[in-house]
Structure formats: C-alpha cells, structure tokens
Amino acid sequence: MAARNATRNASRNTSKRATRNNSDAYVRMYRQMVRIRAFEDNANQLYLSAKMPGLTHMYSGQEAVAVGICEALEDSDNITSTHRGHGHCVAKGAEFKQMFCELLGKEEGYCRGKGGSMHIADQSHGNLGANAIVGGSMGIATGAALTAKRLNTGNVAVCFFGDGATAQGLWYEVMNMAALWKLPVIYACENNGYSEYTKTEEIAAGSITARAEAFGIEAFEVDGQDVLAVNDLTTKLVARARKGEGPFFMNLSTYRYHGHHVGDINRDYYRSKDEEAEWKDKRDPITNFGKWLEDEKIMTAEELVALNDEVRADAEAAVQYALEAKYPDGSEVTMHVFHEPA
C-alpha cells in the first residue's frame, strides 16, 4: 500500500550525543516528567484515601508524550487535552497548587473547582481545556489552527487524543479541512493500546497512520516512551507547521500504567500483569531518560535523586495546601454560565 510506505519512522534519538547547550532543556524535560509522575501518585493517594471527589484517569507511563511535545512548543501555542489530561496540563506550564485545588474542587483551582480532573487546564499557557468527550477537542484544536492561519499569529495547535478517539467521525471531518486549508495543527495520537477495557486493535480496522495519509497528511510513528525522540520530531514538525507545511499526524506508542481510571483495579480480564510489568520495567520513560542523563554526564545519580525528592516534596506541600484550601462560595454556582468580560 503506497500510503503505508509514506509513513515516516522517526529515528530513535537516545543514541545521539547530547549537546552541552541543550542540557538545560534536557533537565527541564526530566523534571517535567517527574512532576507529572509525582502529581499522579499523589492524585492516586487522594483517591485511595477518599479525599478526592469522583474518579480520575491517570497519565503515569505516558509522560514522555506530553513533555516531549510541549517542550517543543512556545507558551502561546495551543494544545487541547483529554480526560487523561493532568500530564498535558503540567507539561504546558501549570503549577501544582492550582492543579490540586482543581482536583479537589477548591476555589483556587484553575477552573475555580468547576471543572475537576476531566477539565483541568491552565488556560494562561495556551491550554484550551481538557475534554471529557472522547474526540471532543478535535474541532477545537483545528479551529485554533484556523485562527493562527487567519490572523497570522505563527502559533501552532497540538491536538492530544487517545487511540480510542480515532474512531470518532469528527476527526476525519477536521483532518479533511485542515489538509485542504494547510492549517498549523498537529494531531498527536497517544496510542496506549486500550480504549477503556478493550484492546483498541479489536475495534480499529486498517492502519491509523494510513487514515491520516488518505487526506494527504504526513504521518509519523514515534516511540512515545522516548522523550528525546518525541521532542525531536515535534520540534521539526512545529517549525514546518509554522511555515504553512502542516497539518501533521503523530502516532505515539505508549502505555498507561494504571487502570483506565483510579477505580479500575482488577484488570486481569483485559490485560495481563506481565504486559504491565514489561512496560514498567523496561520502557519507563523517566527511568530510561534518567539513565541517559547520567551516561551523558548531564546529571549525576545524586542530582537525579535530589531532583526527585524536591519535586515530591513540592507535590506533597501542594496537596496539603489544597486539602486546607476553601471551597468556592455557593454564590459561584450561577457565575460563568455566560461569559462576562472582566
């Protein structure tokens, strides 16, 4: 099939030599991945100790995707996020305090407690929101790219979605228009292999990259556990998208470590413990990147430990803060139904 051959395979990048002037960026990427993991571990604890209202979908295991991509973006670039959105939120520049406040429905949360886990977003860094409708943000991201083109802002938009979301018809409608109008949008499929409790290969026909290619959109396969590979590819695509060469599609293979949501604990019926162990033990994006930083002498083992400890302490302090923070006043319930310019 011609379309398949056109699929680019982004080269794994970890064999490359680090360049000194990039070391700040590497450390930042490592830190951001650790921050996401720390956020999620605390979120899980909050759920298990019945301190968090509702459920949450954890991002642990997929950190290299959000971080590799968001580190290639400028602050003014847009992203759209999903029900599994904590990672995107952190990676696009959010702070722990307001995130934990949102998770617990407190007034100081990014959405003043109105959104919660599934709508968490720091809007001031270009995050257009996390979405509880699978595929629900595909139009929004493409529309942001339409603004970028019409107003010539130079921004790009990244649309994060899961493999399950590729079943939504909306994606095919907006890809068609994005391709016709050469919009600066990058569709980033976080392919963790599962849609809830079903292996996505059981409910997806043909090839996902070929679907994008059918619209004349360049499609790329990339190892979503390798933050440098993700970052490298995204950096190139962002530069090209800014020049009007978009849209693009990335299929990032990755894995979610936890259940579909925090309550999905007995999951043997749909995926094996061996499979989970294989990804966690051999392909962990944080462990592997940490090793690489050590090998490249960018960070020492002690520095890595210190960074981890510092981030964990930050997260725990933010949790404590959020637990003590106040709920929104009841009068807020009717606020914001319609937008009132400040």
Partner 1 sequence: MREITLSKAVNEAIAEEMRRDDTVFLMGEDVAEAGTPFKVLSGLVEEFGTERVIDTPISEPGFVGMAVGAAMTGSRPIVDLMFGDFLFLVMDQLCNQAAKTSYMSGGKLNVPMVLRTNLGATRRSAAQHSQSLHALVAHIPGLKVALPSSAFEAKGLMKTAIRDENPVVIFEDKLMYNDKAPVPEEEFLLPFGQANIVRQGRDVTLVATSSMVQVCQKAAELLEKDGISAEIVDPRTIVPLDEDTILDSVRKTSRAVVVDEGHQSFGVTAEIASRIGEKAFYHLDAPVQRMGAMDVPVPFSPALEDLTVPTPEAVAERAGMICRGELVHAA
Ligand X SMILES: Cc1ncc(C[n+]2csc(CCOP(=O)(O)OP(=O)(O)O)c2C)c(N)n1
Q: Which helix (H) or strand (E) holds 44?
A: helix 23-48
d(CA 31, CA 287): 12
With CB under 5 to 8 Å by kind, the binding choice for 84 among partner 1, ligand X, Mg ion, none is: ligand X
Does 164 bind partner 1 (CB under 8 A)? Our answer is: yes
With CB under 5 to 8 Å by kind, the binding choice for 50 among Mg ion, ligand X, partner 1, none is: none
Exposed e or buried b for every residue in 283-302, given b needs 16+ CB within 10 A?
bbbbebbbebbeebebbeee
Does 162 bind Mg ion (CB under 5 A)? Our answer is: yes
Does 279 bind Mg ion (CB under 5 A)? Our answer is: no
Does 45 bind partner 1 (CB under 8 A)? Our answer is: no
The residue among 181 and 257 lying less far from ligand X, judged by its C-beta, is: 257
The residue among 113 and 184 lying less far from partner 1, judged by its C-beta, is: 113
The residue among 171 and 248 lying less far from ligand X, judged by its C-beta, is: 171
Does 85 bind Mg ion (CB under 5 A)? Our answer is: no
Three-state secondary structure readout of 184-252 = CEEEEEEECCEECCEEHHHCCCCCHHHHHHCCCCEEEEEECCCHHHHHHHHHHHHHHHHCCCCCEEEEE
CA atoms within 13 A on the CB side of 19: 3
Does 1 bind ligand X (CB under 6 A)? Our answer is: no
Min separation Cβ 162 and ligand X, Å: 2
From residue 301, alpha-carbon distances to 46, 226, 308 in Å are: 30, 20, 11
Place of tokens 């064999």: 15
Does 265 bind partner 1 (CB under 8 A)? Our answer is: no
Interaction residues for ligand X, span 88-117 (CB under 6 A)? none
- Chain residues binding ligand X by CB under 6 A are 57, 83-84, 132-134, 161-165, 192, 194-196, 260
